[in-house]
Amino acid sequence: MGDACFSTQLIDGDGVFNVSGLENFMKDARLGECGLSYAVVSIMGPQSSGKSTLLNHLFGTNFREMDAFRGRSQTTKGIWLAKAQNIEPCTLVMDLEGTDGRERGEDDTAFEKQSALFALAVSDIVLINMWCHDIGREQAANKPLLKTVFQVMMRLFSPRKTTLLFVIRDKSRTPLENLEPILREDIQKIWDAVPKPHAHKETPLSEFFDVQVVALSSYEEKEELFKQQVSDLRDRFQYSIAPGGLAGDRRGVVPASGFSFSSQQFWKVIKENKDLDLPAHKVMVATVRCEEIGNEKVGSFTSDEEWQQLEEAVQHDFVPGFGKKISSLLDRCLSEYDMEAIYFDEGVRSSKRQQLESKLLQLVNPAYQSLLGHLRTRTLEAFNESFDKALEKEGFAAAARNCTQTFLEKFDKGSEDAAIQQVNWDTSKVKDKLRRDIEAHVASVRAAKLSELCAKYEAQLTKALAEPVESLLDSASEDTWPAIRKLLQRETKTAVSGLQSAVSAFELDEATEKELLVKLEKHGRSVVESKAKEEAGRVLIRMKDSCSAEMLTLCPGCGQERRT
């Protein structure tokens, strides 16, 4: 089954570029999938010289042809574009408006030069359609055309070598081997006569063009022979871009997906009457297209269902396997970019890939940070629970040290699980926050435990001192205070020794431990002092009561007299 024939007017007779028409053409022809595997063929020649007829027979296109019965008049206006049928690789065919047409007049050659320069800029092969009877004639119709072609070629900065295929129409009985040397001599004379910039004063024609010649019989007089000759010529266009193929030099070829933008920019520069810098144009097209491809990939990533599910899930909890899943999504997105941008300028392609990767990672980073937040919270909660259980089996400092190490390692493993292959994000800040949280919890528990221990030994010391001291004070004698002092020293030493042994598991620094022990010693003294004060208070009360009783004994009525 043959290929469908797609065509559109690329540039109208007024020089207006048909952007939407080309975009639709590219979609219909699936041109964007071709990469560098495509060729562009264009045809130039006098008006009504059978260019469209030749292209339709050669490539199976459907360009409008001249009606011989209605006389010679302009049928092709502007530039038309079609896809060749059953030609490998994908071959685009451009039919240019004929030269020397009476519709534009002798003085209106601007469009002719512009279209010639456009064709040379975008084409691998340019067909020069010419009459056999013009070969060797000074006033031949094709001479102005060739001068135009050679002149505009000088405006292509660092051009690629283009194949110029001269198609001699309505060949006479003169053998081609006799016609070709005359034609080549004519071509060389025109080339020599064309003004050239200083850099190309001595540049031979062969550096710019690969000139080839073919002859065809008259379509009207020898139709069958014409068709056979065209069929033979068609075979030369198969695999034209292969080494040794008709297309030849492929320097500066723009990937097919950038053909539309490239063509628009070429025409814009030509219309502005500027020289075409092909290397710079290639970079510019690569920049625009690679950026477009990158933006498309960002859009497809953000709309990806798997990414959206991950992004949602990570807002609520830690997601196991997050790193691998995200890495896979990013790798797929970047691989798609690589496939679509593979034929563009390497420097531009790599730069835009880095930008794409950076944009994707910026999209992913908030989810990643949220994941680390959940990992830190989960790890801290698990630490707290495990630490409480560990305190039942081992000393405080050992439990804190072992649990801290264990759960920081678990955080590291969780971080590894969250790690994204395409980037090495630093998790140290989150880990430091976790460590500070753990240390804060340990400090809080330590303070509570030490407070409990101190309260316990203070209570024991209070119990050991309070009643004995009170008893000794009640039965006061010369030996009371030495006995109390001895009791205080003995019981304080016992309590301090017990507390010191208890806090050893905390591995406190010397100053902190000493502070706790001194505090306990002070507590013992304060118990004794408190009891002494209580006893002194009681003694005063007893003394007061005793004095009052003595006064009543000495003066029985004193109390009554005062009452009256």
> Which domains does the chain possess?
7-274 (3.40.50.300), 285-425 (no CATH), 457-554 (no CATH)
d(CA 144, CA 134): 12
CA–CA distance from 393 to each of 186, 401, 442, 507 (Å)?
105, 14, 16, 16
0.75 surpassed by pTM: no
d(CA 59, CA 234): 7
In this prediction, residue 113 carries a pLDDT of 80
Residue whose structure tokens are 């206006």: 77
What residues form DSSP beta bridges with 17? 11
Q: Are 343 and 262 in contact (CB under 8 A)?
A: no
Transcribe 437-449 into DSSP letters.
HHHHHHHHHHHHH
The continuous run of DSSP H or E covering 234 comes out as helix 223-237
Q: Which residues fall within 8 angstroms of residue 296, CB to CB, at 6 or more apart?
A: none
Q: Which residues fall within 8 angstroms of residue 530, CB to CB, at 6 or more apart?
A: none
Q: Going residue by residue through the chain (564 aa), what tens digit of pLDDT does each one get?
A: 456 667 899 999 889 999 999 999 999 999 988 988 999 999 988 877 788 889 999 999 988 864 443 444 445 688 999 999 999 999 999 999 877 544 544 445 678 888 888 888 889 999 998 888 888 776 665 677 777 777 777 666 556 688 999 999 888 888 888 889 988 988 898 888 888 777 778 888 888 889 999 999 998 889 999 999 999 999 999 999 998 899 877 777 888 999 999 999 989 888 887 666 666 778 888 888 899 999 999 999 999 999 999 999 999 999 999 999 999 999 999 999 998 888 888 899 999 999 999 999 999 999 999 999 999 999 999 999 999 999 999 999 999 999 999 999 999 999 999 999 999 999 999 999 999 999 999 999 999 999 999 999 999 989 998 888 888 888 878 888 888 889 889 998 999 999 999 889 999 999 999 999 999 899 989 988 888 888 777 766 666 666 666 566 666 665 554 444
CA angle 434, 436, 442 (to 5 degrees): 105
In this prediction, residue 551 carries a pLDDT of 60
What stretches of 342-427 show up as alpha helix (H) in DSSP? 346-390, 396-418
Closest CA to 337 of 326, 320, 323, 351: 351
Q: Are 40 and 92 in contact (CB under 8 A)?
A: yes
In this prediction, residue 109 carries a pLDDT of 64
What residues form DSSP beta bridges with 254? none
Q: Are 375 and 318 in contact (CB under 8 A)?
A: yes
Transcribe 496-562 into DSSP letters.
HHHHHHHHGGGT--HHHHHHHHHHHHHHHHHHHHHHHHHHHHHHHHHHHHHHHHHHHHH-TTHHHHH
Q: Helix and strand tally (H, E) in the chain? A: 16, 9
Q: Which residues fall within 8 angstroms of residue 235, CB to CB, at 6 or more apart?
A: none
